[in-house]
């Protein structure tokens, strides 16, 4: 009898904890919906976009991938920021920071050592693009811009 009472008490407490957690999650979600349009919503969003990737870095997830996933989650996962003009600005800033971080990873000393090979490959690539542009423009009667785009695509 005591064991049955104890088991029912454990079940009731776990159901109670689940109900509390569910209620808390609902309250947080409702709060985010109410405050997502104001400045506090933007501050919360920016804070999450900066803090969560750093936390995920401790688990071995690169910051760029975590930031990318967070951006997708904000844009498509929640309906808080639909038709909002500030979110594309955040998107542009995210792309800029991604390129900035990628540029900071470049080993300039290695580039200086291989400058002749790099310039040789660059010159060869430019020559191929020019030749293909002329071929496409003449063969398909294309204007210069579409011919260049087609040559760059190959």
Q: Which tokens belong to 57?
A: 């870095």
pLDDT at 75: 72
Residue 77 reports pLDDT greater than 70? no
- The answer as to whether 16 is a domain residue is no
Picking from 18-22, 95-99, 112-116, 125-129, which range would have the lowest pLDDT averaged per residue? 18-22
pLDDT at residue number 95: 83
4 vs 10: CA distance, rounded Å = 10
Look up residue 1 and give its DSSP letter: -
37 in a domain, yes or no?
Answer: no
pTM: 0.47
Number of domains making up the chain:
1
Supply the range of the domain harboring residue 144: 107-154
pLDDT digits (tens, 9 = 90+) for 23-61: 655 666 666 666 555 677 777 777 777 788 888 888 888
Hey, how many other C-beta atoms are within 10 angstroms of the C-beta on 49?
18
User: Does 139 map to a domain?
Assistant: yes
Q: Is residue 41 part of a domain?
A: no
Q: Which of 1-10, 44-53, 76-85, 128-137 has the highest mean pLDDT?
A: 128-137
- Neighbour-count burial of 70, counting CB atoms closer than 10 A to its CB (0-12 exposed, 13-18 middle, 19+ buried): buried
Out of 77-86, 93-102, 142-151, pick the least confident. Answer: 77-86
Averaged pLDDT for residues 106-126: 94
Mean pLDDT of the chain: 77
Mean pLDDT of 125-136: 96
Rounded Cα distance between 39 and 89, Å, is 15
Looking at residue 6, what is its pLDDT? 44
The verdict on residue 82 lying in a domain is no
Say if 81 falls within a structural domain. no
**CA dist., res. 55 & res. 66, Å (int):** 10
- Mean pLDDT along residues 5-11: 46
* Domain presence at residue 34: no
What residues have CB less than 8 Å from 48, skipping those under 6 apart? 70
Asked if residue 52 is part of any domain, the answer here is: no
Q: What is the pLDDT of residue 89?
A: 81
């Amino acid at each position: 009898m005591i064991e049955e009472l104890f088991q029912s008490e454990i079940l009731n407490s776990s159901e109670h904890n689940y109900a509390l957690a569910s209620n808390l999650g609902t309250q947080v979600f409702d709060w985010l919906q109410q405050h997502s349009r104001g400045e506090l919503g933007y501050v919360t969003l920016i804070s999450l976009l900066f803090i969560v990737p750093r936390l995920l870095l401790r688990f071995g997830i690169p910051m760029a991938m975590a930031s990318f996933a967070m951006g997708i989650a904000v844009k498509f996962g929640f309906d808080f920021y639909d038709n909002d003009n500030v979110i594309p600005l955040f998107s542009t800033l995210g792309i800029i920071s991604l390129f900035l971080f990628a540029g900071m990873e470049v080993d300039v000393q290695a580039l200086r050592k291989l400058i002749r090979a790099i310039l040789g490959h660059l010159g060869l690539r430019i020559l191929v693009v020019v030749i293909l542009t002329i071929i496409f423009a003449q063969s398909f009667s294309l204007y210069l811009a579409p011919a260049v785009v087609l040559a760059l695509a190959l």
